[in-house]
Amino acid sequence: MDASNTTVMTPAVPAIIAERPIKIRARNVDVFYGDKQAIYDLSIDIPDRAVSALIGPSGCGKSTFLRTLNRMNDTIPNARVTGTVELDRENIYSRDLDPVLLRARVGMVFQKPNPFPKSIYENVAYGPRIHGLAHNKGALDEIVVSSLKRAGLFDEVKDRLASPGTGLSGGQQQRLCIARAIAVNPEVILMDEPCSALDPIATARIEELIDELKQNFCIVIVTHSMQQAARVSQLTAFFHLGHLVEMGDTDEIFTNPQDQRTQDYITGRFG
Amino acid sequence: MAATYLLCTAGLAVLSFFLAASRARALATTGAALHSRPSYHGLFLASLVLTAAFAIFALGWPLTGWLAEKYALSVLPAHVTTDPVGRDTALRDIGEIVQRREVAGANSEIIGAAAAYARITWLGRVITLIAGLAAAAALLLNGWNRISSYFPARNYFERWVEYLVFACAAVAVLTTVGIVFSVVFETLRFFQLVSPVDFLFGLEWNPQTALRADQGEFGGSFGIVPLITGTLLITTIAILVAGPIGLTAAIFMSEYASSRTRAFVKPMLEILAGIPTVVLGFFAALTVAPFIRNIGTAVGLSVASESALAAGLVMGVMIIPFVSSLSDDVMNAVPQSLRDGSYAMGSTRSETIKKVVLPAALPGIVSAFMLAISRAIGETMIVVMAAGLAANLTFNPLAAVTTFTVQIKTILVGDQEFDSAKTLSAFALGFVLFFLTLALNVLALRIVRRYRERYD
Amino acid sequence: MTDLIDGRRASDYSSTAAKRRLVKRYRAEARFRAYGVLGLILTAAFLAVLFIDILGKGLPAFWQHSLMLRTPLVPAEIDPLGAHDPKQIASADFGKIVKDVLASQFPYVKSRAERKLLNSLLSSGAADALRDRVIANPALIGTTVATPALLSADADLFFKGRLTKVEAEPAKSAATLNIQPQERYEILSPDGAFAASLAEIKRHLGARVALLRAEVQGLLAQRPEIASRLAQARDGGNSAEALRLENSLQSIDLKSAELQTRMQNLEIRASSSSASEKLDATLPSILAAANGGLIKAEEISADRLIGPALVPPRSAASLAPGDWSIVTYQTPQSFRRIADQQIAWLEHLKGQGLIDRHFNTRFFTSGDSREPELAGIRGALVGSLLTLLVTIVLCLPVGVAAAIYLEEFAPKNRLTEIIEVNINNLAAVPSIVFGLLGLALFLNTFGLPRSAALVGGLVLALLVLPTIIIAGRASLRAVPPSIKDAALAVGASHQQAVFHHVLPLAMPGIMTGTIIGMAHALGETAPLLMIGMVAFIVDVPSGITDSATVLPVQIYLWSDLPEIAFEAKTAAAIIVLLAVLFVMNGTAIVLRRRFERRW
């Protein structure tokens, strides 16, 4: 399949975008790693208080795009982003925007659970502490407890907040990472294949959690599993070879894909 | 005085931290959203104060010393200050008197000059202190006024930290620059006294210079050929010991040894690598050299008591760990697939090693040898203690020879006459030594790097 | 063998030729493997010999011998004013008091020369312990105290058996003791009690003959070559050279003739087995212990011994078998640093139970000294400590910061590459070159004090900086990037992520590298020689600008001294140095094992 002459299908505005405010608006985004281009001229709108799933075969640029949304690509040498990405209509790549403050607004959960090798409490408290969100110990305790509760982890760990976060099971670790992201009170949570390292039961719990979190957050999830995308997301975007091939309401994409490649992918012809 | 300065400015820095942080905290309680946390406001201001104070110190202190020296010399009568030797003696005496040490035979002129020196030093340091404190205070006031909720103190402080860590990394480069300058300048001065041709190709090394002016300009001979042959002789012996032992040990470790054997052998080689060379020198001089001498006498050979053989043998043992650990590394880097290919054809292990692993690892092994040679050339204590001082032009391992490092040590330890050809010659030797080892290292590292790239 | 069967080449691997080939190949295999084992065994053997040699030489130096004498503390000598003023007490001549007590043990020692010889058994610091004790407790004045008085290094070495072997053989036959003119004593043993000793002396003479013969042969062996060169020089008309060679031929002839005469004389003495022998200082000393006295043989034959008394006998009563003995000091007097007379006194004191062997605490509590028995490593230890303190204070922060810069902040550009290459090369610059840097830059340009721990620390800091940077970078790199990502994702700045998360996790690795670097610095000698840390310094340094020396330099200085007692001191200092290094490296290994993380 020739990638260079693909065009983005522009169907009618997806229903979910029409009914929710737009949180993130990306326009004409290109991402380069050195000489290699990873994302080609990508434009997308992501709604607030909903789950948007980015799907596509390996190496299609979905994780790269996710990382442009909180400027994590800045940490990779030679990475270059052009175009505009707006968060609440503010260009996050503008010169006066501090990426550090951006990342406080756009949290991220990674593929492999990566708790700090510190206590559970410290894992969650770290973010609020560096951002000065709590002025005393009591307030900090409260943030930690509420974040753990919202991540559905509190009941399991309330007796051992001082024990190391790395001692938890994989699913618990991932929920700890979600709690850590929630603790700084972000507006957006990016999830980069959050369940790929987990067993089905832990995956189910995370998916439940994502469903709850969408009440308050704009969630963007990258996933390999189409079933997962179908289960948790309201908006789905299909990426292929650095191009956004198609996006739309999740039900729509999975039942009635417009593009042949999308169809091939969701029916399992390649992946 | 220096302590006072540092304490005062450090105190100011701590003060500025607390002032700035509390002001930022006060801003935060009014409800303004701060760009940076209060502690960053504090850290930024403290870093500014410290930088300014340090800069003024680094400027003021040496300047004061220089001025004080000038002034003290101007107080002394001209006949003292025009004679370079007298000038150095006078300055040394002044230094001693200023530090309240007894100086035998100090006359009233020197004591007067010392008083002048002390006065200027005191004055200069007080001025530096005041300037440092004033600058710090000014910065504090200015910074305090600039604190606002938008002020990106964290970014500024982090920029400062970045400069700081860069400066630390630059120390390594400055060290090299320092080394090059300290040997190059003195070497150039040496070449004004002795021609480079005589130095590089002369067959006699005898750096004795005239003790008095009437004994002629200088009477030493500065040909480094005997030193080159001596260094080469000892290094050759060392490599003849370390090469086979180190290489076979490395082969055994990387190709044959079980992990249990490795767990025993590796620490052994680490222990050997960790033994200070002064200990090996002691062993070479007091145990190995007499042993070789006794054997020599028993078979009717005349062996010098400080034979090249004794120093070379012990030095060889010293560099075994270099050869073996580097060779071990490069052989481990040879991909298993190459070995598998050889085994699959029915080769034995030793055939695989000889025909496949060693040829593949050869560049790395060569560079390991080069690094070991460079280490042997630059080694000092073993040869100082076990090799001789006489620069004999010989390749007889039973004779006494001398090396670059021995001569540098001998010339520079103890009383030196400043600016004599003898003293300067040590720096010229250091120059040769530095660039010789540098060339070996650069070459070896380049070979290793190219080799690594091949298999990475 | 190469016929094609079904399209495949048939090889016969079961033929005898093939089997023989295989056997040969396996033998080569075993040989090859044995080379590796041999290399390691040689290395291990070297290490073992090194450690055994140093332990053997050094361990005795951790013990010392003192004389336990009951010393009366006469108020008039120590504190005439009775004010118990420490200054007054300190100025008293305790040395004389101790010497007097020693002399009182030997009332027969009268002449000045003998008194001097006796006093030389005591260290010049023999009275130190007594003085300290009295100053600490002036109430002792007027009483008699038993305080150890340190023996001199030679006396100490004698008790450690380093100077001569002493053999005492009880005589099995009766003898008579006669007093002869000129204070000579004669022991007559009709049964030939001295025959064995006489034979021993003859053997010695025989050995000396053999040595002389070898020397003569060596001289004569040079003759033909010189003679041929002489012939050449004469043919070539080089008269100056010919004259020189002629002279050397002549001197060889003269020398060998003289040696031959001596050899022949000795040979006659050695071969006439029954003739009496005059003993000189180049032969082992034969003595007879009888009636509480000790008679040194000037001349012996199988049945007669005559000579002066080193310890006068109580009486001239005749000697029953087993009541007296023949004593031999194996090493001839002129080859040892202690006289027969002194040995006699020391043996006497030992017989009285007055010699005390004790742990040499002084070795750890005092500074350097010209007297081996007083010399200690405290000054060097403190100097090493101060130097390392300066080193670590400078190079740990700078090294860690440089590692952080290169791993985390450095842009990929030419400057960074230069810095990296530079650090790698700096790690291999000979240490003595750093000494040149210290001398030219810190001493001559900046005018920092010579011999000071400050400059030593500076130089060593530059020396170990590359080690720490390289170790620091390796451990920073070992921290997985996911940790940094996690911190960045919650809005930590790059620096916060590094300093809050990456650096703490890299710290064990950095500390391991630092300890290894410090161990390297602790053993370093050459650069410190350059900046003048080789001075003879008695005082323990009290600050980083005081003149100081460090342990390895102390080892180097002592190893250069001719006294044998210092050889033991050197080895003892080496033991201390190695012990410290083992502890440091052990700590590093424990640290590495304990905090090593598997990600």
B254 CB contacts (<8 Å, ≥6 apart)? Answer: B327, B328, B331, B332
Closest alpha carbon to B230 in B411, B21, B390, B341? B390
A271 CB contacts (<8 Å, ≥6 apart)? Answer: A57, A58, A224, A265
Instruction: For an interface test with B, give the residue of A95, A96, A97, A100 to mutate (most B CBs within 10 A).
Output: A100
- Which residues does chain A have within 8 Å of residue B35's beta carbon, measured at their own beta carbons? 98, 101
Closest alpha carbon to B159 in B323, B283, B43? B43
| Alpha-carbon gap, residue A120 to A167, rounded angstroms | 9
Cβ count near B444 (within 10 Å)? 23
Question: Which of C212-237 are b and which e, b meaning 16 or more Cβ less than 10 Å from the residue's Cβ?
Answer: beeebeebeeeeeeeeebbeebeeee
Instruction: For an interface test with C, give the residue of B358, B381, B423, B424 to mutate (most C CBs within 10 A).
Output: B381
Cβ count near B257 (within 10 Å)? 20
pTM of the model: 0.86
| Alpha-carbon gap, residue C422 to B278, rounded angstroms | 28
Asked if residue B215 has pLDDT above 50, the reply is: no
High-pLDDT (> 70) share of chain B, %: 93
DSSP H or E run through C356 = strand C355-359
Shortest alpha-carbon distance between residue B102 and chain C (Å): 15
**Interfacial B residues in 284-313 facing C (CB < 8 Å):** 285-287
- Model confidence over C275-317: pLDDT tens digits? 788 888 888 888 888 888 888 888 888 888 888 888 888 888 8
Tell me whether strands B221-222 and B205-206 are parallel, antiparallel or unpaired: antiparallel
**Banded pLDDT at B214 (limits 50, 70, 90):** very low
Angle subtended at Cα B380 by Cα B379 and Cα B384, rounded to the nearest 5 degrees: 140
Ranges A129-143, A191-205, B241-255, B385-399: which has the least confidence = B385-399
Q: Subunits touching C (CB < 8 Å, at least 3 pairs)?
A: A, B
- Model confidence over B259-298: pLDDT tens digits? 888 888 888 888 899 899 999 999 999 999 999 988 888 8
Confirm or reject contact between C529 and chain B (CB < 8 A): yes
- Model confidence over C196-253: pLDDT tens digits? 888 888 888 888 888 888 888 888 888 888 888 888 888 887 788 888 888 888 888 8
- Which residues does chain B have within 8 Å of residue C463's beta carbon, measured at their own beta carbons? none
Strands, sheet with A51-55, edge to edge from the N-terminal-most edge strand: A106-109, A188-192, A218-222, A51-55, A235-240, A243-249
Residue C1's pLDDT is: 45
CB A261 within 8 A of CB A240: yes
Residue C54's pLDDT is: 93
Tell me whether strands A106-109 and A188-192 are parallel, antiparallel or unpaired: parallel
Angle (deg, nearest 10), helices C378-404 and C453-478 = 40
Shortest alpha-carbon distance between residue B143 and chain C (Å): 22
CB C502 within 8 A of CB C479: yes
Shortest alpha-carbon distance between residue B37 and chain A (Å): 6
Residue contact C28–B275, C-beta within 8 A: no
Residues of chain C with pLDDT under 50: 1-2
CB A14 within 8 A of CB A252: yes
CB C512 within 8 A of CB C588: yes
* Number of CB pairs, chain A paired with chain B, less than 8 A apart: 11
Long-range residue pairs from A201-209, CB within 8 A, at least 24 positions apart, any chain = A201/A171, A202/A169, A202/A170, A202/A171, A202/A172, A202/A174, A203/A171, A203/A228, A205/A152, A205/A171, A205/A175, A206/A171, A206/A174, A206/A175, A206/A178, A207/A231, A207/A232, A208/A152, A209/A151, A209/A152, A209/A175, A209/A178
| Alpha-carbon gap, residue C166 to C285, rounded angstroms | 10
Q: Is C397 exposed, middle or buried (0-12, 13-18, 19+ CB in 10 A)?
A: middle
B293 CB contacts (<8 Å, ≥6 apart)? Answer: B303, B304, B305, B307
Closest alpha carbon to C551 in C576, C516, C569, C515? C576
Tokens of B63: 């300047």
| Alpha-carbon gap, residue A7 to C498, rounded angstroms | 42
Instruction: For an interface test with B, give the residue of A98, A102, A131 to mutate (most B CBs within 10 A).
Output: A98
| Alpha-carbon gap, residue B339 to B357, rounded angstroms | 7
DSSP summary character for residue A88: T
| Alpha-carbon gap, residue C206 to C277, rounded angstroms | 13
Q: Which of C36, C530, C552 sits opposite B278 (nearest CB)?
A: C552
- Model confidence over B155-176: pLDDT tens digits? 889 999 999 999 999 998 999 9
Closest alpha carbon to A150 in A130, A180, A109? A180
List residues of chain A with CB under 8 Å from any CB of chain C. Answer: 70, 72, 75, 77-78, 100-105, 107-110, 112, 114-117, 126-127, 130-131, 177, 180-181, 183-184, 190
Q: Which of C412, C488, C501 sits opposite A77 (nearest CB)?
A: C412
Residue contact C523–B274, C-beta within 8 A: yes
Shortest alpha-carbon distance between residue B408 and chain C (Å): 8
Which CA distances in Å does C559 have to B279, B288, C160, C550?
10, 14, 20, 14
Strands (DSSP E) found in C237-302: 277-278, 285-290, 293-296, 299-301
Tokens of B453: 């790239």
Residue contact B152–A98, C-beta within 8 A: yes
Residue B343's pLDDT is: 86
Residues of chain A with pLDDT under 50: 1-7
| Alpha-carbon gap, residue A225 to C234, rounded angstroms | 106
| Alpha-carbon gap, residue C440 to B274, rounded angstroms | 29
